[in-house]
Structure 1
Amino acid sequence: MTNINTRKRTIGVNFAASGEAQVLLWAPDANQVELLIPGKDKTVSLTCKDLGYWIAQTTDLQSGDLYYFELDGKKQLPDPASLSQPDDVHGASRAIDINSFQWKDDSWQHFPLKDYIIYELHVGTFTPEGTFAAAEMKLDYLVDLGITAVEIMPVAQFPGNRNWGYDGVYPFCVQHSYGGLKGLQSMVDACHSKGLAVILDVVFNHVGPEGNHLEEFGPYFTEKYRTPWGNAINFDDAWCDGVRDFFIENAVMWFRDFHIDALRMDAVHAIKDFSPEHILQKIKQQVDILIQQTGRKHYLIVELDLNDTRFINPVSKAGYGMDAQWIDEFHHALRVTSGQEKTGYYSDFDGIRSLAKSYEDAYVYDGAFSEHRKKVFGMKTENSGEQFVVFSQNHDHVGNRMLGERTSQLVSFEMQKVLAGAVLVSPYLPLLFMGEEYGEKNPFQYFVSHTDPEIVEMVRKGRKKEFEAFHMDGEAPDPVLEETFERSKLNWELIEKEPHQTMLNYYKELIATRKSQPPLCVLNRKKVSVEHNTATQVIVLRRQHKVQDVICLMNFSAEMQEVEVSLYAASWRKLLGSSDLQWGGSQDMPAQVSGELALILPPESITLYSNQYE
């Protein structure tokens, strides 16, 4: 490593206790670097040190001042490690003392990953105001729901005020319109005060197209590999050390300076790195050093479109050491099982058979031939249940539908309850997408606020091409129009109306049941067994812990189905029945059953029973 200091931020502009600004910029091709302070008409020259790093120490730059870097007396550019961009991605950077926030979370005790019940939210559409401060006002609601971890979609500064966050161009800078650096720190502090962990979604596989000045400072990208977003980030080509340090420092910063508990790292399969030590492994090493220094636990969770355990195996077993991964395959199997279309990447999934396999094996494709990919795909996994995150919907699988329809628009009220139950009884970490808990009706559509006409047109054409594989007719909503963004905001008034209030109460009970029953909250994959019937569309999932069993009876069909479970106990008591009248269903399931479980399951229902042993 050339530059990593896990104890304090060194890259960009930082302030010593004396108030002196300490400046560090990586620009290996530059012959001259100056820092310009337009508000004071001041210029500070930087000195070149080893490996393309330029440094300066000055009292001319103070917290709150705007500044630019100027390379070789030419173009004025914002700081690639900027902490604040008040005038959008093309404007000057603002110097901020990252350590000036007064934290109140000294007593925060981060809990084990196995206890995560995740709620994914997009700051801009979670509330009418679309700010961190407004999101703070909803934290009591999330605690009451039973959530333990809030996952925030990317907040790195992007062009304009509307974006999913995956077009960020300043990885160290928190989106100004959301409330900036201090707004995020305040929200994290508030989450910790209420017992909520915070996961931040970060993007290390590409940088957005508009306002991306990284290449003007150095070889941040390489032509060796192509990605869906263009040239890959340079993690293993000439001058890659400076790039690797840049992103490692970024990961450490979120933990150290923002007190983030976990990072969700976007699409790591798109990271191209054939170094002896993969960039993810290097990030893990530095995070482990930070953990040793602070005593605070942090987790690394990856989005991964590869059924490859190398990513989540420990470094000691030649893995990259990531703590957990998203498994889209569980979602795909669940969607198809609920009767939704088998187009695009869903075509590979055989409904209830695939879902049953995912319950037992995590990966559906673990060495089998994938017709969609036209190759044998995946590998077997023995990894623990807490290393997998599952969901019935998330930002991608809602927002990447042409019209952005949520599950509430695609399946019945009863099936929504089944899908929720299917996720929360799994031996994995459950994730909810904002609004699903009360059956939000507004869509979550793709939106941007780019100002470059060429980029705007590329986005529109890209969206159209994306839906060709799904054979969809019609036109996607224009992602540039503000109304596309506005219609994607949650309608909080619904939680006071039916059937939304009943759905919300059902989710609360479901989450409470998962938390209170050891067979459900102990994520032991070795104590999971599954039976499925393709003719009746019924899954019987058995979860065990010590002498207690929980039997989850799922009927995905539109007809009543008879089921017999060859397990005997003196008595079985009902934990939850989605068809019960109190949850807006058509019939109450028996509160208690003696001996063998032999029942008639209502259509589109999930019922949970436990033996009487505690």
Structure 2
Amino acid sequence: MKLGAYYTGNETCEFTVWAPLLKEVALKIITPEERLIPMKKEDEIEGFWKATVQGIKPGTQYYYQLEANKNLPDPASYYQPEGVHGPSQIIDPNSYEWKEQNWAGVPIQEMIIYELHIGTFTKEGTFEAAIPHLKNLKELGINAIEIMPVAQFPGNRNWGYDGVFPYAVQNTYGGPDGLKKFVDACHQHGISVILDVVYNHLGPEGNYLPEYGPYFTNKYRPIWGEALNFDDHYSDGVREYFLENALYWLRDFHIDGLRLDAIQAIFEVGARPFLQELSDHVAILGEELGRKLYLIAESDLNDVKILRPKELGGFGLDAQWCDDFHHALHALLTGENDRYYQDYGKCEHLEKSFRESFVFTGQYAPHRHRKHGNASKDQPAQQFVVFAQTHDQIGNRINGDRLSTTINFEALKLAAGAVFISPFLPFIFMGEEYGEPAPFYYFISHSDAQLIEMVRQDKKEEFKHFEGRGEYQDPQGEETFNKCKLNWQLKQQGKHKTLWEWHQKLIEMRRTIPAIKKLDKNSLDVWSLEEEKIIFLRRWADNNQIFAIMNFNQNESHFTAQIPTGKWQKILDSSEEKWLGSGSRLPETIESGKQLTIKPQSFAVYQLS
């Protein structure tokens, strides 16, 4: 089924809308000339209204008229050229001529993921303006881009999680053709595209779905408005709406994978979990297209059920973000112990994450005041995405401050080393690769004064944790948004240039050194010296072995090398002068049992000769 206005060619368009409880639905054409066309309810049980209209062209704007008195945009609109309150517009899904050739996608185990926000990635804030930067990302070693949500949201600036038209590409970014052109360009550079989608809530402004049917339920009490109706009366139509939405992005826009936002906020109780059904549908589409399509979850649950195959009672998703790795790394780098960071801060936490992925696997979590998580050690390493920074971890701070303005240059190199030496999927947030200093604040551009004030008060309440540590920025202010735009010229200057080259080297090692390239928790040994704040990591594949040393101490540390016998040759050292360090204290070769000294907050890798 294709929801919305599906243009079939020859000036013919099929309109389909789900409105199971309405008695009358009509199609109101706005341009080029007004006309009203009654729609037919094809099945009383399923609740889909349809109309096939001839003599109609792409670019035509329309509303649906409900009960003969309400003119509203299409809930499955493919384009909202005048924003969330304006008419919907017909597009031709086949008008774009794809230039990609025999694109098969990047296997997930090889992905180096780069998250970006279209509105702040460039000065112009459009898909088209982002394309020239793909060459630099490819040179860096990036082969997968994760785009923050682009579904139509109110106004022209937003993180994207306030979207209210899940099928419509944001008009201010360049609309559907802009996204297709960007994806096409990515594929021509050998870069897969992952799109962030939100199936746990919709924003309040411009959300007309309740006018059409029971898209929401009051069975649950989520933190972001009403819960979407995945298991209550008439939920079949809601599930169909979001299942088809996922397929729409993957099929019509050639997207390679979806990042599913905050799945812990998808509420349902039933024998057919929505995420499991989504996984099945995506797998079938992948077989039809002849390439693997991926689903990556953001989850706060530490529950491997979402990763396990359906045969074992799981949802069958391909991977998930691993917040525990971030929290453990961040706490060691910064010493912060407020909010959820109070649950971390020791080397043993990051050591466990290197070994298993989750840190909390059923034990008591002080911040949560309860036991949390289940064991992840048996799940393949390629199922976990790890990072030192994300839009959330930066933007949910009062200063919107990145690590580049929180820790020193040596610690930045250490942070990157920890991410890329891990056996998991590495992920960086735009600008991280060169130490971008610009903040990434939370920003909106709503038109509802009451809603704007409510958002302001919510953020002020949230930021009480940071009292005395920064100045509150108005989310509605355009200047707040403008401060977040990247300063690309820095990439060629001083320490920024060196940090970019450092990331490039780490990515190169990950692709060329078998022990690092192989994502396998079972070919890994990790241990630490808690008092000295040093973590050691050994990984191997066939006859290749590496030994990494991570010093989180702000002072020089002395230790005894506890590694297998043999001659170990240094291949990378962040404290060397070539990386703008103060000079290394580590020798070029080491052997087990030798006393060694390592510079503060440094990262080194040896390879067995």
TM range (shorter): over 0.9
Residue equivalent to 1:608: 605
Q: CA deviation at 1:256?
A: 0.5
Q: CA deviation at 1:597?
A: 5.7
Alignment of 1:325-364 (within 5 A): 325-364=320-359
Q: CA deviation at 1:469?
A: 4.1
Alignment of 1:386-405 (within 5 A): 386-405=382-401
Alignment of 1:485-524 (within 5 A): 485-524=481-520
Alignment of 1:10-49 (within 5 A): 10-39=2-31, 40-49=33-42
- Judged with a 3 Å threshold, the aligned counterparts in structure 2 of structure 1 residues 597 and 434 are, in CA distance, closer, same or farther, namely farther
Query: What secondary structure, in the 3-state scheme, does the structure 2 residue paired with 1:225 have?
Result: coil
Equivalent residue letter for 2:223: P
Alignment of 1:523-562 (within 5 A): 523-562=519-558
Work out the CA distance in 1 between the residues paired with 2:544 and 2:558.
Answer: 24
Work out the CA distance in 2 between the residues paired with 1:575 and 1:115.
Answer: 22
Equivalent residue letter for 1:65: T
Equivalent residue letter for 1:411: I
Work out the CA distance in 2 between the residues paired with 1:175 and 1:562.
Answer: 54
Give yes or no for contact 1:540–1:554 (8 Å, CA) kept in 2: yes
State the Cα deviation string for residues 454-496 of structure 1 (Å, max 9, x = none). Answer: 1100110110111234555554200111000000000011112
Alignment of 1:289-368 (within 5 A): 289-368=284-363
Query: What secondary structure, in the 3-state scheme, does the structure 1 residue paired with 2:220 have?
Result: strand
TM-score when normalising by structure 2? 0.97
Work out the CA distance in 2 between the residues paired with 1:556 and 1:391.
Answer: 17
1:122 to 117, 120, 123: 117
Give yes or no for contact 2:7–2:90 (8 Å, CA) kept in 1: no
2:587 to 572, 587, 590: 590
Work out the CA distance in 1 between the residues paired with 2:109 and 2:34.
Answer: 54
Work out the CA distance in 2 between the residues paired with 1:437 and 1:232.
Answer: 37
Give yes or no for contact 1:308–1:378 (8 Å, CA) kept in 2: yes
Work out the CA distance in 1 between the residues paired with 2:259 and 2:344.
Answer: 26
Residue equivalent to 1:252: 247
Work out the CA distance in 2 between the residues paired with 1:348 and 1:557.
Answer: 19
Give yes or no for contact 2:334–2:406 (8 Å, CA) kept in 1: no
Give yes or no for contact 2:197–2:259 (8 Å, CA) kept in 1: yes
Residue equivalent to 1:95: 90
Give yes or no for contact 1:344–1:470 (8 Å, CA) kept in 2: no
State the Cα deviation string for residues 69-119 of structure 1 (Å, max 9, x = none). Answer: 000111110000011111110000111012221112231121321001000
Work out the CA distance in 1 between the residues paired with 2:232 and 2:135.
Answer: 48
Residue equivalent to 1:185: 180
Residue equivalent to 2:99: 104
Q: CA deviation at 1:570?
A: 3.6
- Judged with a 3 Å threshold, the aligned counterparts in structure 2 of structure 1 residues 473 and 536 are, in CA distance, closer, same or farther, namely closer
Verify: 1:61 aligned to 2:56, yes or no.
yes
Q: CA deviation at 1:41?
A: 1.3
Equivalent residue letter for 1:169: V
Verify: 1:424 aligned to 2:420, yes or no.
yes
Work out the CA distance in 2 between the residues paired with 1:23 and 1:99.
Answer: 17
Q: RMSD over aligned Cα, in angstroms?
A: 1.2
State the Cα deviation string for residues 142-181 of structure 1 (Å, max 9, x = none). Answer: 0000111001000000011100000000000000110110
Verify: 1:85 aligned to 2:77, yes or no.
no
Residue equivalent to 2:143: 148
Work out the CA distance in 1 between the residues paired with 2:333 and 2:547.
Answer: 20
Work out the CA distance in 1 between the residues paired with 2:128 and 2:10.
Answer: 31
Stretch of structure 1 that moved more, 585-594 or 530-539: 585-594
Equivalent residue letter for 2:410: E
Verify: 1:433 aligned to 2:425, yes or no.
no
State the Cα deviation string for residues 195-254 of structure 1 (Å, max 9, x = none). Answer: 001000000000011100000000000000121112100000001000000000000111
Work out the CA distance in 2 between the residues paired with 1:582 and 1:597.
Answer: 25
Query: What secondary structure, in the 3-state scheme, does the structure 1 residue paired with 2:305 have?
Result: coil
Unaligned ranges ≥5, structure 2: none
Identity in percent: 45
Work out the CA distance in 2 between the residues paired with 1:470 and 1:275.
Answer: 40
Work out the CA distance in 2 between the residues paired with 1:460 and 1:365.
Answer: 33
2:562 to 541, 566, 577: 566
Q: CA deviation at 1:598?
A: 4.2
Query: What secondary structure, in the 3-state scheme, does the structure 1 residue paired with 2:311 have?
Result: helix
Stretch of structure 1 that moved more, 353-362 or 594-603: 594-603
1:167 to 162, 167, 170: 162
Verify: 1:446 aligned to 2:438, yes or no.
no
Query: What secondary structure, in the 3-state scheme, does the structure 1 residue paired with 2:382 have?
Result: helix
1:233 to 228, 231, 238: 228
Equivalent residue letter for 1:419: A
Work out the CA distance in 2 between the residues paired with 1:294 and 1:107.
Answer: 11
Equivalent residue letter for 1:90: H
Q: CA deviation at 1:60?
A: 3.9
Give yes or no for contact 1:155–1:165 (8 Å, CA) kept in 2: yes
Equivalent residue letter for 1:191: C
Residue equivalent to 2:372: 377
Q: CA deviation at 1:593?
A: 3.2
